[in-house]
Amino acid sequence: MSSQSLTELLAQKAAIERQIAETQRGQRADAIAKVKALMAEYGLTLADISARPAAVARKPAAAKVAAKYHDKATGQTWSGRGLKPKWLTAALAAGRSLSEFEV
């Protein structure tokens, strides 16, 4: 068992936490100074740093694919991509053929 009291240990903990916070502030200030120096050296602005590069810009929205299959009774459609919708799966299970729904 330690010969130090709880009060002494808590005081040490508080002192270490203060040292950590001071070190973090100092390192942050150093990092900011380095960034500012690099910005000045290369003539950069905040807009240059925060601007999105063209390669990362959003892709245009994919165009909707035309329907290949249509249920005339309900008006539901399917493009033929991805999983078959439940309405088509149920109709096929009931004995109808896929060709009946082609657009």
Does residue 56 surpass a pLDDT of 60?
Answer: no
Over residues 58-70, the pLDDT tens digits come to 677 778 888 899 9
List the structure tokens of 20: 């950590």
- Give the mean pLDDT of 74-94: 90
pLDDT band (50, 70, 90) for residue 2: low
User: Each residue of 34-52: pLDDT tens digit?
Assistant: 999 999 999 998 888 886 6
Structure tokens at 52: 């999105």
Supply φ then ψ for residue 72, to 5 degrees.
-65, -30
Q: Is the pLDDT of residue 54 over 90?
A: no
Q: CA–CA distance from 18 to each of 11, 28, 54, 77 (Å)?
A: 11, 15, 44, 66
Beta-strand (E) ranges in the chain? 69-70, 77-78
